[in-house]
Amino acid sequence: MRILIVCLCFLYTFNACSQQKSIANEENTDTIKDDVLLKDSVRLSPGKLYEQAKRAYEEGYYSKAVHLCDQVISLDSSFTAAFYTRALIKDDMGNLEEAIRDYTIVIQRNPKHSVAYVNRGGGYMVLGNYSAGLKDMDKAIEINPNTKVGYFNRGNIYELFGESEKACADWQKAADLGHQKAAIEVEKNCK
């Protein structure tokens, strides 16, 4: 019986090590089989899966991080942080429409999440929906008057709309808050 337990422990350890080596050797375009994720999700709580997702994201394993966030959400659809992290990842991957959908869920659940407004507004800007971007920057600044990225982005939108005075005022405010690119815009365009 003792030999059987030792053998089972060895097989489990060998299997876990093999999986770890496989994951460690993957590039940023890594993929993980859904059956492994499902098997792991049965054993791990949403909180532990979420910690793995954040770690994978920080290490640049975007596909793995998205899959782990998906698993967290499938286990607990009220886990707002998983939606936010997945939005950040999708944003970094250039999947802006998907990122915007997740930022929207975060904002619906936490209407005071100023960074989600800034990020969603930035996505709208890149997609050319400047009015929606401006609305999100306005809301972010209303929630957090010290959001230097919100002022900088809103200044950029005002510049696109030909409203130079408003652009310069926002860039100056962002520069006063420590945004270096805003200070460059003030120097180039507002003196």
Any domain includes 102 = no
Asked which of 36, 62, 96 is the last residue of a domain, the reply is: 96
Does 117 share its domain with 171? yes
Asked which of 96, 130, 145 is the last residue of a domain, the reply is: 96
Long-range Cβ pairs for the range 75-78 (8 Å, 24+): 75/41, 75/46, 75/49, 76/46
pLDDT tens for residues 90-147?
999 999 999 999 999 999 999 999 999 999 999 999 999 999 999 999 999 999 999 9
Per-residue pLDDT band at 32 (split at 50, 70, 90) = very low
d(CA 23, CA 59) in angstroms, rounded, equals 12
- Looking up residue 181, the CATH number of its domain turns out to be 1.25.40.10
pLDDT(24) > 70: no
Does 70 share its domain with 121? no
Structural domain of 185: 111-191
Any domain includes 77 = yes
Q: What is the pLDDT of residue 17?
A: 34
Does 122 share its domain with 188? yes
Does 186 share its domain with 118? yes
Residue at token pair 């005022």 = 169
Neighbouring residues of 121: CB distance < 8 A, sequence distance ≥ 6? 132, 133, 134, 135, 136, 137, 140, 150, 153
Q: What is the pLDDT of residue 25?
A: 34
Does 128 share its domain with 187? yes
Sort residue 128 into left (φ over 0), alpha (ψ -120 to 50) or beta: left
pLDDT tens for residues 49-91?
999 999 999 999 999 999 999 999 999 999 999 999 999 999 9
Instruction: Mark 87-108 as b/e (b = at least 16 C-beta within 10 Å).
Output: bbbbbeeebbebbbbbbebbbe
